[in-house]
Amino acid sequence: MVKIKRSVGNKGKNHWIDVMEIQCLINENTHLLKGIEPLLEDGDIGKSTISAIESYQKIVMRISKPDGNIGPYGGTLKSLNKTRKPRSKYGTCFDLATRDNLFPLNFIPAESYKSGMRSFGSSRSKGKRLHAGCDLYAPVGTPIRAMNDGIVMRPVEAFYMRTYVLLIKHDKFVARYGEISHVPNGIKNGAQVKKGQIIAYVGKLKFKKPMSMLHLELYRGDATGPLSTKGNKYQRRADLLDPTSVLDAATK
Residue at which a domain ends, from 56, 83, 110: 83
- Among residues 41, 58, 83, the one where a domain terminates is 83
Q: Does residue 88 form part of some domain?
A: no
pLDDT tier, 193 (very low <50, low <70, confident <90, very high otherwise): very high
Query: By residue range, what is the domain housing residue 235?
Result: 96-249
Domain shared by 131 and 199, yes or no:
yes
- What are the DSSP E strand ranges found in 95-194? 123-124, 129-130, 134-137, 143-145, 150-152, 157-158, 164-170, 174-182, 192-193
Q: How far apart are CA 110 and CA 34, in angstroms?
A: 50
45 shares its domain with 106? no
Among 35, 58, 83, identify where a domain stops: 83
> Are 78 and 100 in a shared domain?
no
CB 184 within 8 A of CB 198: yes
Q: Could you report the per-residue pLDDT of 155-164, keeping only the tens digit for each? A: 899 998 889 9
What average pLDDT does the segment 216-242 reach? Answer: 90
**Is the pTM above the cut of 0.85?**
no
pLDDT tens by residue, 56-71: 999 999 999 999 999 9
At 28 the pLDDT is 87
Q: Which long-range contacts (CB under 8 A, 24 or more apart) does 152-155 make?
A: 152/187, 152/188, 152/189, 152/190, 152/191, 152/192, 152/193, 153/189, 154/189, 155/188, 155/189
Is residue 139 very low, low, confident or very high in pLDDT (cuts 50, 70, 90)?
Answer: very high
Instruction: Summarize the confidence of residues 150-176 as an average pLDDT.
Output: 91
The predicted structure's pLDDT at residue 220:
86
- As for how many domains the chain has, the answer is 2
pLDDT, one tens digit per residue, over 90-122 is: 333 344 544 689 999 999 999 999 999 999 999
Q: Is residue 177 part of a domain?
A: yes
Residue 89: which pLDDT band, with cuts at 50, 70 and 90? very low
